[in-house]
Structure 1
Amino acid sequence: MMFLDSTYLIGVILKKDTYTKQSLELKPLLKNEKKLINNTVFNEVLNSLSSTNSEYDVDTLTDLLLSYQIDFLTKDDYADAISLFKYYNHAINFS
């Protein structure tokens, strides 16, 4: 099972994203893998794309996101994430 982050997903969806080339190169390698996202990635992708002027089909996008297994984060998961965020002196993306 492979965890997909928002950077990869946005790179696949948008044709002119900074990470489109790398994301599309990885896509064939993930073809036969079960894919996992979490609710934070789901929200981050939708919010990031809605803030761009890029064209994409919302129905196709949501179908894609809903095709993956979604792990819903718990309060403890967020507490762990905050600890890591602090440990790395805010140098990593909280999401």
Structure 2
Amino acid sequence: MANTTSAKKAVRKIAARTAVNKNRRSRVRTFVRKVEEAIAAGDKTAAENAFKAAQPELMRAAGKGVIHKNTASRKVSRLANRVKQISA
């Protein structure tokens, strides 16, 4: 257990930051899942709309440091390719 005042404050800050990051990561997963479900259903318009919502969410998470910038770019790229391949 933390003994000093500064260590106790650090523990509180880490807990708060962890909660925020967990929420952001969960949001990203939800948006990505919606895109994947639309792709699986073969609904091109729904997939495109879900992708347009998911892309800024992924990049925002990368900007906040929740996920790495390259990870976000890779996920966006792969989702875009999968959405594009749906037969119109």
Sort the TM-score into its range (normalised by shorter chain): 0.3 to 0.5
Structure 1 or 2: more strand by fraction? 1
TM-score (norm 1): 0.32
TM-score (norm 2): 0.33
Structure 1 or 2: more helix by fraction? 2
Structure of greater Rg: 2
